Amino acid sequence: MRKSKKSDKTKNVDQAKQTERLNKIDQIIDQYENKYKDSHKVLIELLQEILEEFDYVPEEALVRVSEKCQVPLSRLYSLATFYNSLRLEPVGKHHVCVCVGTTCHVNGATEIVENLERKLKVEPGHTTEDGNFTLETVNCLGVCARGPLVEIDGKYFSNMSPIKLNKILEKYENGKSN
Amino acid sequence: MKTENQIEIIDLEELKNEILSKRSLDQPTVIIAGGTCGFASGALEVIDAFRDELKKQNLDGEVVMKVTGCHGFCAIEPALIINPGNIFYSGVSAEDVGEIISETIINKKVIERLLYTDPDTGEKILHEEDIPFYKKQTRRLLANNTRIDPLNIEDYIAIDGYFALEKALSMGPDKILEVIKASGIRGRGGAGFPTNIKWEMTKKAQGDEKYIVCNADEGDPGAFMDRSILEGSPHSVIEGMTIGGFTIGARVGYIYIRKEYPLAIEHLRKALEQAHEYGFLGENILGTDFSFDIEIVRGAGAFICGEETNLLKSIEGAIVEARTKPPFPAIKGLWDSPTVLNNVKTLVSIPLIINNGAEWYSGIGTNTSKGTIIFALVGKVKNSGLIEVPMGMTLREIIYDIGGGIARGKKFKAVQTGGPSGGCLPESLLDMPVDYESLTKAGTIMGSGGMIVMDENTCMVEVARYFLTFTQDESCGKCTPCREGTKHMLDILTGITKGEGHEEDIAVLESMGSLIIDVSLCGLGKTAPKPALSTIKYFRDEYIEHIRNKKCPAKVCKALIKFSISEDKCTGCHLCFRNCPTQAVVGEAKKVHSITQEKCIKCGICHESCRFDAVRIE
């Protein structure tokens, strides 16, 4: 809990933002219910839609889905933690994702991940203290012929090495938004 | 059944002719290899440059630009073809675009510099198909990737797209099954189950609803042909699936595709929209009483969902946990209804078989494995990319004739097939013809077609450890042998790579591995020990070297290697000093440097940064 007292004005802004979020969540759920009205529901698609909107799956979204779609919260939580890409924490400003598929691995992906862990001082799956980078690994992005591959904010960088990546990361460092 | 829609029904032949009549073969065309790998290597910048430059020179109406799927030879992208002339340029950058337009398109001159050079002969090669990488291939399933703009359904119709669907609808399910059976096609997902039997079982099974599901959850790290097909020819998948749906009596199909393939999802979505617009999907397809629709379900990054029963659970939104078979999905599948599951490559083969006939398909291949097979030929090989060859080609032909041999003059050590469910094969097996049976006999599997070449600098124990880390992490945890067994195997392998192995470890790995294979519930556990067992079988000496002598012959396992600087070669350029993250490198500029072992974390950065080959790994 934050200890500092917030002014009424900030509180109002926060509240407005929260309402907007909840509205967005409801909107996604309604669209989903509508889409699968006449057929079996595909729950994983709903979670993907939420992920796409917020870049993570917020707790309040799971609660809302549970209430509106009559799915036990425990099952939603179980699904959200089972799948690698359904993260429960928000991502930082820049999303750095290292492919650790077999080809990238034999070509040095481990060294790239270890170098990033040292440099950013976070483990894969976490965000740096300043909120600038989220480091993740992925099992394979299917660009094996050009590995090691690193994806930053959706852009692919091929034939990477620790030194090459260090240079690229400079452009994304705090204050040098890209 | 006559419907009102029938008035609007298109005559495919007429439509094709109309499309072709609008096109001229003489019109200058630039065909750019797109796809995720193309984009990762800079094709987007090249595309933008063409767009800008053509506009600037007022040529945007004259010159057609077509962005296709991946052409397969990923290592030399960005690549493009200029027509007329069929001129192939590789390694193109945005800076070359102006020159390509003025020299090749306008002045009809070839730019020598951008032609592919055969590394063995030094010869410049003008046409893509003459490059050694393509020469020995038989590209059937991948053919469309160089021919069509995947986002334009007219391109697909112009090459007889959806003709097979029309033909199949008039043939009827029984005749289709006959043709599929005669072709001898076996499931391309890896297990090689005859496709006709799967379809027939589902067709005969009792149930009001039936489903066809396309498994596009290409989870094997190292395989990317499904991605490439989905990006480059999404309509082929839709057409194959619709024929399958018609045959088994399904009204709905699902394509379960990895979220990690955003471009493939985008192309598939657009293709589905277009197929609807043209009446290839939806109600009363092509004027018949067959109605069918396809939905996309995005997988969320779980390897185990590539296994059929788990994939179906994932679509249902249930907790994914392995179950025993039978019942098979053909009897009790999605929402307990009869369901066919087919791999992307199986489905895109169907329209080809219907159009060209069973004999055309079975005309190549081996006795038991018909047709072509796609491999993702990657790793330490010179020419890496997607290849398609007749079943039965030897590993040596694939790796040396198509792949050009091992990169950087290194020595071949092993080739890995089948991903985390497969195994590593040594040099002595290189003359083995590749088909389902021979690979299984050798201790690996066909799998989804990843073929990762490893050289002397790849440690086989570490590779086994890597795969076990993967399967252990992806195990759903329901059955004990997989959950606990893979963990124990991983612990032992990790110990060996750290120099903490014991003599008896190998025997324990072998007995535990075969037990896990025997008693695990699903495909994940039943195959997870294979990477370890196959490396023990063929590379036992390497295990013994790690255990007995605490040495890693490939110089990979960090606990067993040491970095040092050669006094003869070090020029004192200071680069390693500047790059070392732990200040382990000491030395003044222009003087010989050295490494303080206590501080060295063996990250290899000094080795990477040294331009004089002075950093030794021992």
SS3 per-residue string spanning B569-610:
CCCCCCHHHHHCCCCCEECCCCCCCEECCCCCCCCCHHHHHC
Query: Interface pTM (ipTM) of the complex?
Result: 0.90
The minimal CB distance from B450 to the residues A102, A111, A146 is found for A102
pLDDT above 60: residue B430 = yes
* Of residues B275, B287, B296, the one with CA closest to residue B153: B275
B491: how many CB neighbours lie within 10 A of its CB?
13
Lowest-confidence segment of A91-95, B8-12, B369-373 by average pLDDT: B8-12
- 3-class secondary structure, A136: strand
Residues of B in contact with A147 (CB under 8 A): 378
Judged by CB atoms closer than 8 Å, whether chains meet at A162 and B604 is answered as yes
Shortest CA gap B104–chain A (Å): 28
Judged by CB atoms closer than 8 Å, whether chains meet at A140 and B260 is answered as yes
CB B241 within 8 A of CB B281: no
pLDDT digits (tens, 9 = 90+) for B37-81: 999 999 999 999 999 999 999 998 899 999 999 999 998 999 999
Chain B's closest residue to A71, CA to CA, is B317
Chain B's closest residue to A86, CA to CA, is B300
Chain B's closest residue to A114, CA to CA, is B603
Chain B's closest residue to A84, CA to CA, is B301
Q: CA-CA distance, B437 to B383, in Å (whole number)?
A: 27
Q: Is the CB of residue B208 less than 8 Å away from at least one CB of chain A?
A: no
Q: CA-CA distance, B62 to B27, in Å (whole number)?
A: 7
* Of residues A140, A137, A143, A168, the one with CA closest to residue A158: A143
Q: What is the pLDDT of residue A177?
A: 52
Residue with tokens 């955003």: B262
Q: Is the CB of residue B470 less than 8 Å away from at least one CB of chain A?
A: yes
Judged by CB atoms closer than 8 Å, whether chains meet at B603 and A114 is answered as yes
Percentage of chain B lying above the pLDDT 70 cut: 99
Residues of A in contact with B447 (CB under 8 A): none
CB B573 within 8 A of CB B593: no
Q: Is the CB of residue B581 less than 8 Å away from at least one CB of chain A?
A: yes
Q: CA-CA distance, A58 to A50, in Å (whole number)?
A: 8
* pLDDT class of B402 with cuts at 50, 70, 90: very high
Judged by CB atoms closer than 8 Å, whether chains meet at A103 and B252 is answered as no
Shortest CA gap B71–chain A (Å): 12
pLDDT digits (tens, 9 = 90+) for B147-156: 999 999 999 9
pLDDT digits (tens, 9 = 90+) for B291-332: 999 999 999 989 999 889 999 999 999 888 888 888 999 999
pLDDT digits (tens, 9 = 90+) for B571-585: 999 999 999 999 999
Q: What is the pLDDT of residue B3?
A: 43
> Which residues, 6 or more positions from B58, have their beta carbon under 8 angstroms from its beta carbon?
none
Q: What is the DSSP string of B301-326?
A: S-GGGGSHHHHHHHHHT-------SS
Chain B's closest residue to A35, CA to CA, is B295
Q: What is the pLDDT of residue B60?
A: 85
Judged by CB atoms closer than 8 Å, whether chains meet at A163 and B609 is answered as yes
Judged by CB atoms closer than 8 Å, whether chains meet at B378 and A103 is answered as yes
pLDDT digits (tens, 9 = 90+) for B200-222: 999 999 999 999 999 999 988 88
Judged by CB atoms closer than 8 Å, whether chains meet at A79 and B222 is answered as no
Chain A's closest residue to B73, CA to CA, is A145
- 3-class secondary structure, A60: helix
The minimal CB distance from A144 to the residues B222, B298, B463 is found for B222
Highest mean pLDDT among A144-148, B149-153, B440-444: B149-153
The minimal CB distance from A102 to the residues B227, B384, B416 is found for B416
- The phi and psi torsions of B272 (rounded to 5 degrees) equal -65, -45
Domains of chain B plus CATH, in order, are: 14-135 (3.40.30.10), 154-361 (3.40.50.11540), 372-455 (3.10.20.600), 460-548 (1.20.1440.230), 562-617 (3.30.70.20)
Q: Output the CA–CA distances (angstroms, integers) from residue A110 to B471, B603, B604, in the order listed.
A: 17, 9, 11
Q: Angle at Cα A80 formed by Cα A78 and Cα A84, nearest 5°?
A: 115
Q: CA-CA distance, B452 to B378, in Å (whole number)?
A: 5
Q: Which helix (H) or strand (E) holds B163?
A: helix B163-171
Q: What is the mean pLDDT of chain A?
A: 90
* pLDDT class of B36 with cuts at 50, 70, 90: very high
* pLDDT class of A2 with cuts at 50, 70, 90: very low
- The phi and psi torsions of B252 (rounded to 5 degrees) equal -130, 140
Q: State the distance between the two ends of chain A, measured CA to CA, in whole angstroms.
A: 32
Q: What is the pLDDT of residue B4?
A: 44
Residue with tokens 């399958």: B244
Q: Is the CB of residue B224 less than 8 Å away from at least one CB of chain A?
A: yes
Region B470-496: what's the mean pLDDT? 95
Q: What is the pLDDT of residue A6?
A: 61
What stretches of B288-394 show up as alpha helix (H) in DSSP?
308-316, 344-356, 358-362
Q: What is the pLDDT of residue A5?
A: 58
Q: What is the pLDDT of residue A39?
A: 82
Judged by CB atoms closer than 8 Å, whether chains meet at A140 and B222 is answered as yes
What stretches of B205-290 show up as alpha helix (H) in DSSP?
225-232, 234-248, 262-277
Judged by CB atoms closer than 8 Å, whether chains meet at B317 and A44 is answered as yes
Q: What is the pLDDT of residue B324?
A: 83
Exposure pattern of B177-216 as b/e (b: 16+ CB <10 Å)?
bebbbbbbbbbbbbbbbebbebbbbbbebebebbbbbbbb
Please list the residues that pair with B29 across neighbouring strands: B64, B83
The minimal CB distance from A139 to the residues B262, B303, B581 is found for B303
CB B45 within 8 A of CB A156: no
- 3-class secondary structure, B138: coil
pLDDT above 80: residue B1 = no
Judged by CB atoms closer than 8 Å, whether chains meet at A162 and B605 is answered as yes
pLDDT above 90: residue B174 = yes
Exposure pattern of A84-94 as b/e (b: 16+ CB <10 Å)?
bbbbeeebbbb
Chain A's closest residue to B258, CA to CA, is A141
- 3-class secondary structure, B90: coil
Q: What is the pLDDT of residue A128?
A: 95
Percentage of chain B lying above the pLDDT 90 cut: 91
Q: What is the pLDDT of residue B357?
A: 97
Q: Tokens standing for A46?
A: 């709903």
The minimal CB distance from B298 to the residues A45, A106, A119 is found for A45
How many residues would you count in chain A?
A: 178
pLDDT above 80: residue B166 = yes
Chain A's closest residue to B35, CA to CA, is A143
CB pairs under 8 A between A and B: 160
Chain A's closest residue to B78, CA to CA, is A146
Q: Is the CB of residue B320 less than 8 Å away from at least one CB of chain A?
A: yes
Q: What is the mean pLDDT of chain B?
A: 94
Residues of B in contact with A119 (CB under 8 A): 581
Burial class (CB in 10 A: 0-12, 13-18, 19+), B289: exposed
Residues of A in contact with B583 (CB under 8 A): none
Q: Tokens standing for B274?
A: 């277009």
Residues of A in contact with B302 (CB under 8 A): 82-84
The DSSP secondary-structure symbol of B101 reads I
Q: What is the pLDDT of residue B7?
A: 43
Q: CA-CA distance, B569 to B583, in Å (whole number)?
A: 21
Residues of B in contact with A137 (CB under 8 A): none
Q: What is the DSSP string of B46-73?
A: HHHHHHHHHHHTT-TTTSEEEEES--S-
Judged by CB atoms closer than 8 Å, whether chains meet at B379 and A114 is answered as no
- 3-class secondary structure, B213: strand
Domains of chain A plus CATH, in order, are: 8-82 (no CATH), 94-170 (3.40.30.10)
Residue B201, Cα to own-chain centre: how many angstroms?
Answer: 29
Region B124-130: what's the mean pLDDT? 96
Q: CA-CA distance, B96 to B142, in Å (whole number)?
A: 28
pLDDT above 70: residue B596 = yes
- 3-class secondary structure, B504: coil
pLDDT above 90: residue B288 = yes
pLDDT digits (tens, 9 = 90+) for A8-67: 777 787 888 889 999 999 999 999 999 988 788 999 999 999 999 999 999 999 999 999
pLDDT above 60: residue B5 = no
Instruction: Please report the residues numbered 36 through 65 in chain B whose beta carbons come closer than 8 angstroms to any beta carbon of chain A.
Output: 36-37, 39-41
Q: What is the pLDDT of residue B9?
A: 67
